[in-house]
Amino acid sequence: MAAPGFERIAVSEQEPLVRAKNFDEVCLGYTEDEAVLEAERCLNCKNPRCVQGCPVNIDIPGFIMAVKSRDLRGAYDKLSESTALPAVCGRVCPQETQCEALCIRGVKGDAVAIGKLERYVADNAREQGMKPSVSAAPNGHKVAVIGSGPAGLTCAGDLAKLGYDVTIFEALHEAGGVLTYGIPEFRLPKEKVVAPEIENVKSLGVKIETNVVIGKSVTIDELMEDEGFEAVFIGSGAGLPMFMKIPGENAKGVFSANEYLTRNNLMKAFREDSDTPIFRPAKVAVVGGGNVAMDAARTALRLGAEVTIIYRRSEAEIPARAEEVHHAKEEGIIFEMLTNPVEIIENEEHFVKAVRCIRMELGEPDQSGRRRPVPVEGSEFEIETDAVIMALGTSPNPLIASTTPGLDTNKWKCIVADETDGKTTKDGVFAGGDAVTGAATVILAMGAGKAAAKGIDEYIKGK
């Protein structure tokens, strides 16, 4: 492939039947030559539409041009101007609906593989030991960030670059939020990718205190009054799992995806040396159609199960990334579309035996604009299974809001915050990410963290 063509340079992946048996990363990433060839496809548009599609406004043509000229330090610096987590974003951002969706190359042929290029630059930087450059001198102002997920890390990193003294408080024993407990190793390696990017944020001067549950160990008011924090950013995510409220849901073998993934990812239950157990039956059903459902299903597959995904709408409405659905299918996961569980059936020992489902058809569009699934009468049937994993979405944990007077939430328990600067109803308190929007994506949370960092900077300077 000498001249840049209409097709993107293919990226190598582990073979489906091989990877279905291990937790190593599925996508292997570009080599330098492949990256340079792909970079050559970028037209370096004067008005780059891709940048508009990026929630953190990365100078996409800028970094790609640097790749083209094999200036990988320059490319990394360009990325670091806008993101603290390029190796993460290069892997888990839905580029196909954001930057790449707007790429002019996509009009006739494939969009430039922006995500894969970002990943290549970040991976190379890590392998070469590059660190993001620190710019500002310390300004002496203290800011607290609650939650060390994508929103918190981004907000903290941006504030540190402006000279702020930032401490992140994390409830779990390890930093990273959903990057650590939620997204599995085969999609986002922890030691190789997540930990080094968190180290990079720390190298900017950010402190991370784990094992602190805000609202329990200490409240926001106390952080501000007793510990001298002038502003607080809440990026505590949407951690509360939802269940279906159907009969049998408390049988042994029914899990929230949060529990299942946390056991596997944070607690490393898939490894022999971990003390944490995980249920490893022959058959697993996963309910839901989002990325979390795909993650849970593909985890169960790797732990040796035959896996069925039960989703109530059709494939056209499935909210998971196309790449994830494609990978899941390649690996042999069975999809039961237009199907909804109505009951979980237990055996005599109260373990899951089957899930009783009903077929659905699509009716009129609902509020989300998607056609509403309606049950087909008399179509009930059973799927035999030993476990059911509920991946129905999550809502924000009410703990912080309930212990912070003056902090308003809406009817979905989401914190009310201004989209442009993260301002909440409480003076000096900002919020962003899933805690504000409800469960969304890593990159949207990062965008919100970024906006709030700017908002906090303006707030403190204006005091």
Partner 1 sequence: MYLIKKKRVLHDTIFLMDIVAPRVARYCEPGQFVIVRIDENGERIPLTVCDYDRDEGTVTIVVQTIGASTQRMMKLEEGQYLQDFVGPLGRPSELVTDDIEEVRKKKILFVAGGLGTAPVYPQVKWLHEHGIDADVIVGAKNKDLIILEEEMRKVAGNLYITTDDGSYVRKGLVTEVISDLVEKEGRKYDVCISIGPMIMMKFCVLTTKKYDIPTIVSMNPIMVDGTGMCGACRLTVGDEVKFACIDGPEFDGFKVNFDEAMERMKLYRTEEGRALLKLREGDTHHGGCGNCDGGDK
Give the footprint of partner 1 on this chain (CB under 8 A). 171-173, 181, 210-213, 216-218, 239-241, 243, 245, 249-250, 252-253, 255-256, 258-259, 262-263, 267-268, 273-277, 279, 350, 397, 399
Residue 268 or 372 with smaller CB distance to partner 1? 268
**Euclidean distance between CA atoms 350 and 251, whole angstroms:** 6
**Euclidean distance between CA atoms 281 and 387, whole angstroms:** 7
Tokens of 78: 């360009």
Least Å distance, CB 433 to partner 1, is: 15
**Euclidean distance between CA atoms 277 and 267, whole angstroms:** 9
Indicate the SS3 state at residue 236: coil
Residue 348 or 364 with smaller CB distance to partner 1? 348
**Euclidean distance between CA atoms 122 and 141, whole angstroms:** 30
Nearest CA to 437 out of 427, 448, 424 is that of 448
Residue 305 or 453 with smaller CB distance to partner 1? 305
Nearest CA to 286 out of 264, 304, 260 is that of 260
Residue 233 or 279 with smaller CB distance to partner 1? 279
**Euclidean distance between CA atoms 351 and 385, whole angstroms:** 10
CB neighbours of 235 closer than 8 A, spacing ≥ 6?
Answer: 145, 146, 147, 149, 150, 151, 152, 155, 177, 431, 432, 433, 435, 445, 448, 449, 452
**Euclidean distance between CA atoms 141 and 224, whole angstroms:** 12
In this structure, the dihedral spanned by the alpha carbons of residues 102, 106, 107 and 108, taken in order and rounded to 10 degrees, is 170
Residue showing tokens 């990988």? 72
Residue 375 or 438 with smaller CB distance to partner 1? 438
Least Å distance, CB 349 to partner 1, is: 8
**Euclidean distance between CA atoms 74 and 94, whole angstroms:** 25
Least Å distance, CB 33 to partner 1, is: 39
In this structure, the dihedral spanned by the alpha carbons of residues 240, 230, 454 and 199, taken in order and rounded to 10 degrees, is -70
Residue 89 or 391 with smaller CB distance to partner 1? 391
Nearest CA to 15 out of 32, 27, 23 is that of 27
Residue 142 or 268 with smaller CB distance to partner 1? 268
Least Å distance, CB 147 to partner 1, is: 11
Least Å distance, CB 170 to partner 1, is: 10
Residue 111 or 285 with smaller CB distance to partner 1? 285
Tokens of 51: 């940048």
Task: Give the CA radius of gyration of the chain.
Answer: 23
**Euclidean distance between CA atoms 298 and 317, whole angstroms:** 20
Residue 273 or 377 with smaller CB distance to partner 1? 273
Residue 54 or 407 with smaller CB distance to partner 1? 407
Tokens of 65: 């041009």
CB neighbours of 64 closer than 8 A, spacing ≥ 6?
Answer: 39, 42, 44, 75, 112, 114, 117
- Run of H or E residues at 66: helix 60-68
Residue 131 or 268 with smaller CB distance to partner 1? 268
Do 298 and 323 form a contact (C-beta atoms < 8 A)? no
Sign, CA torsion 216/222/227/233: positive
Residue 172 or 285 with smaller CB distance to partner 1? 172
